[in-house]
Amino acid sequence: MQKLLLFLAFITLGLGCKDEGESTGTVEGKTVFFTFQDMPEAQTINTKAQEILTDWQEFQDFESSFQVLYRAKNNEDLALAIDDLLNKEKAMVEGEYPETFDNAQIKSRQRVVRTFLLNVKASIIEQTDVDEPMRKMLLANNALRSQFNIMVNSKLDINLILNEK
């Protein structure tokens, strides 16, 4: 009877260890790779807006970090590029905006970009699929770039609307 009890204990212990080993192996071995194949293309900035943006050093640094992001080959490179983009975006917020772009339309879109940058970073840390957060972040960045074009091309004077004289 003692031998049978000892035998059942070993079988139970063996099965218990096997299940734990498989579950931790799949979590540790999980690797998520990212590609830019099906991601949206960057919105072009027209020449009028580009002339203003060339003098805005914080934005130029942010754009150069975006170019580094597009060259990311694996998730580690992507994580480093996202961290760099978050730092450059923070520098943009703390820096001085050009007069044309110092308004709520630009700042709100910039905040949305930051939100999606943080979503991508969270997905990388959690080792989940980064495709959807990355797509949303790129679309938000395109909306910011598009807003630069709109602000330069808009002939509507907001001060005329707000003044009731």
Blockwise average pLDDT, block size 10, the chain, 165 residues: 66 61 38 66 90 92 89 86 94 92 92 95 91 92 94 74 62
pLDDT on residue 84: 95
Tokens 């580690």 sit at which residue? 76
Closest CA to 63 of 36, 46, 94, 42: 42
Altogether, the residues listed in the chain come to a count of 165
131: which 2 tokens? Answer: 């495709």
pLDDT on residue 76: 87
Distances (CA, A) of 60 to 36, 78, 102: 22, 20, 16
Q: How many Å apart are CA 122 and CA 117, to the nearest integer?
A: 9
pLDDT on residue 16: 67
pTM over 0.85: no
